[in-house]
Amino acid sequence: MLLDRTSYEGETIGVELPVTVDLKVMASEPGFGGDTQAGARKPATLETGLVIQVPLFVNEGDTIRVDTRTGDYQTRL
């Protein structure tokens, strides 16, 4: 991942993150067949340790896209 760095007199004074990052799901409970509620979510732990809410179809080992501004799930890759 590439980051934009702002510096002043050789010292880093700021870093700009990309709008989205792709992260691997390290742990998540499986979705159940009876869970058909529209928009139903479950917690998932990502490779960074961040825990976010994801749709029921996301499984352990999947790679997902996360919005760095909000920490929200975007899509499964």
- Measuring CA to CA, which residue among 16, 15, 24, 31 is closest to residue 52? 24
Confidence of residue 40 (pLDDT cuts 50, 70, 90): confident
Pairwise CA distance, residues 46 & 71, whole Å: 11
More confident of the two residues 40 and 66 = 66
Q: Where are the domains of the chain?
A: 18-76
**pLDDT-based confidence at residue 16 (cuts at 50, 70, 90):** confident
Q: Calculate the average pLDDT of the chain.
A: 90
Is it true that domain 18-76 has CATH number 2.40.50.140? yes
pTM score of the predicted model: 0.78
Predicted confidence at residue 37, as pLDDT, reads 65
The closest alpha carbon to 71, from 48, 47, 50, 44, belongs to 50
Is residue 5 predicted with pLDDT exceeding 80? yes
